[in-house]
């Protein structure tokens, strides 16, 4: 029977048997890639080696703020940042042990323990990948594996755009928004009016989170940050305590910047499936 009749190619059989294949030092890789993601990461010239996981269980102490005071709760800001950083660095350690060049598709999650409201579990999980030809130029800052929350598809596209990921950068700010006093409430009877203390608090909290993220990008010597997201969350804290969390992937040009004219023009298609 020939290959054309549906036989599994020899190299695929070898891989199924767990034999050493290029890019997989121990023969078997693990990943949470979808099929399309897998194909595109390979198209980009990389091979997955293994799932990298880092986690951290953190007890968050209580920090009080004045009832009518806008202020950052610095202890909580730091804790939320530190916990995520711990999870991320543990994930990166796993990647390093595997010899990965970097991690793609990182998901960062926070989970509250049912049995204690002050205990949070932070988890970072992604797939470690390695350049199939052993190209040394894809590592992150300080020779560490790069980290990125981009999917396999996004990773391929980013390389097409002439950039490579450096690391996930983030900034957190937990903020107490002042309650409105009676005087202020009386002042707004009968008219539409801005409640400036609220505006100011949200503005400042977001600004702090973004400043911190940008600071990380500067440290990483990035050119920019793609896929930046801003999350607002209240992790079951008292009302008026809100976390602003900015996160994105810091990137740097692969070589010299590509000329605009070489960028492919997208083709317009319309799906006619009903």
Q: Within positions 122 to 181, which residues make up the interface with another protein, using CB under 8 A?
A: 150, 154-155, 157-158, 160-163, 177, 180
Residue 182: CB minimum distance to another protein, A: 13
Among 239, 243, 254, 256, binds another protein (CB under 8 A): 239
Among 51, 212, 237, 243, binds another protein (CB under 8 A): 212
From 21-29, 95-103, 112-120, 259-267, give the range in contact with another protein by CB under 8 A: 259-267
Residue 19: CB minimum distance to another protein, A: 33
Nearer to another protein, 122 or 163 (CB): 163
Mask of contacts with another protein, 101-120, x by CB under 8 A? --------------------
Q: How far is the C-alpha of 95 from the C-alpha of 80, rounded, in Å?
A: 23
- What are 224's two structure tokens? 């920019």
- What are 9's two structure tokens? 């190619």
Residue 186 CB contacts under 8 Å (≥ 6 apart), including other chains: none
Residue 267: CB minimum distance to another protein, A: 6
63 binds another protein (CB under 8 A): no
Residue 172: CB minimum distance to another protein, A: 10
- What are 202's two structure tokens? 């949200």
3-state secondary structure of 202: helix
Q: How far is the C-alpha of 230 from the C-alpha of 246, rounded, in Å?
A: 5
Among 214, 237, 243, 245, binds another protein (CB under 8 A): 214
Q: How far is CA 76 from CA 63, 79, 169, 175, 243, in A?
A: 7, 5, 19, 9, 9
Nearer to another protein, 41 or 98 (CB): 41
Q: Nearest 5°: phi and psi at 32? A: -110, 30
Q: How far is the C-alpha of 160 from the C-alpha of 223, rounded, in Å?
A: 16
- Binding to another protein in span 17-36, by CB under 8 A: none
225 binds another protein (CB under 8 A): yes
- Kindly report the number of other CB atoms within 10 A of residue 236's CB atom: 10
Nearer to another protein, 26 or 207 (CB): 207
Burial of 166 (0-12, 13-18, 19+ CB in 10 A): buried
Residue 215: CB minimum distance to another protein, A: 6
Mask of contacts with another protein, 181-210, x by CB under 8 A? -------xxxxxxxxx-xxx-xxx-xx--x
217 binds another protein (CB under 8 A): yes
Q: How far is CA 55 from CA 47, 82, 121, in A?
A: 24, 12, 7
Among 58, 141, 240, 254, binds another protein (CB under 8 A): 240
């Amino acid at each position: 029977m020939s290959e054309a009749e549906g036989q599994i190619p020899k190299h695929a059989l070898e891989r199924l048997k767990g034999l050493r294949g290029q890019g997989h030092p121990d023969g078997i890789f693990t990943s949470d890639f979808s099929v399309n993601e897998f194909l595109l990461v390979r198209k980009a010239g990389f091979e997955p080696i293994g799932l990298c996981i880092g986690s951290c269980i953190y007890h968050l102490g209580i920090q009080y703020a004045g009832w009518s005071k806008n202020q950052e709760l610095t202890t909580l800001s730091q804790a939320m940042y530190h916990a995520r950083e711990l999870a991320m660095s543990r994930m990166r350690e796993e990647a390093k042990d595997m010899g990965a060049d970097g991690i793609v598709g990182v998901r960062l999650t926070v989970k509250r323990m049912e049995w204690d409201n002050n205990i949070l579990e932070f988890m970072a999980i992604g797939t470690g990948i390695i350049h199939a030809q052993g190209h040394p130029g894809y590592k992150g800052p300080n020779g560490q594996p790069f980290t990125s929350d981009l999917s396999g598809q996004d990773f391929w596209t980013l390389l097409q755009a002439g950039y490579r990921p450096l690391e996930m950068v983030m900034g957190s700010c937990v903020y107490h928004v002042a309650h409105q006093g009676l005087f202020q409430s009386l002042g707004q009877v009968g008219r539409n009016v801005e409640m400036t203390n609220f505006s100011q608090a949200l503005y400042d909290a977001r600004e702090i989170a973004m400043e911190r993220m940008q600071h990380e990008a500067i440290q990483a010597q990035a050119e920019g940050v793609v896929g930046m997201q801003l999350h607002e969350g209240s992790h079951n804290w008292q009302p008026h305590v809100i976390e602003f969390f900015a996160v994105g992937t810091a990137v740097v040009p692969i070589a010299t910047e590509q000329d605009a004219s070489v960028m492919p023009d997208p083709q317009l298609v319309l799906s006619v499936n009903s």
